[in-house]
Amino acid sequence: MILIGLFVFIAFIVVSLNMYDNYNLQKIEDYINKEKCEKYIYSKGSYKALCEDKLLEISNSFSIDIKKDKIEYNYKDIESIEKEKKNILINDKNKISFSKNEEIDEFYIQLEEKLNKQD
């Protein structure tokens, strides 16, 4: 009986944490859509989004504070981009990380297109 109670308690905790995490992801996606970002990807614990006039990165964490967890790079301030392994270096100092080569290749091409449109 104690084992059944323990199992139910653990299952409840797991389901609760999963629901809370899904709420966080939905909150981030709603913010990205509100900012009118056309393309976004979730990789290595953060969303990377290409918006009208900026590149946006929002980290996923247990408690979300979008104002604190986001990093914005205005296209007009980006002087250079470079691929380095599974990272994109912005202005030789800011790094955006990806987990797969396909993700970085696709995102890099889309970012280049956005930057070329800004010129």
pTM of the model: 0.76
* Enclosing domain of residue 28: 2-118
| Structural domain count, the chain | 1
- CATH number of the domain at 56, please: 2.30.29
Kindly calculate the radius of gyration of the chain based on its CA atoms and give it in whole angstroms.
18
Beta-carbon count within 10 A of 88 CB: 19
Report pLDDT digits (tens) over 53-107.
899 999 887 777 788 888 999 999 989 899 988 899 999 889 999 999 899 999 9
What does the pLDDT look like over 9-21, one tens digit per residue? Answer: 888 888 777 666 6
One-character DSSP codes across 65-101? -HHHHEEEEEGGG---EEEETTEEEETTTEEEE-SSH
Choose among 79, 31, 71, 36: nearest CA to 55. 71
Closest by CA to 26, choosing from 15, 34, 36, is 34
| pLDDT (0 to 100) of residue 20 | 62
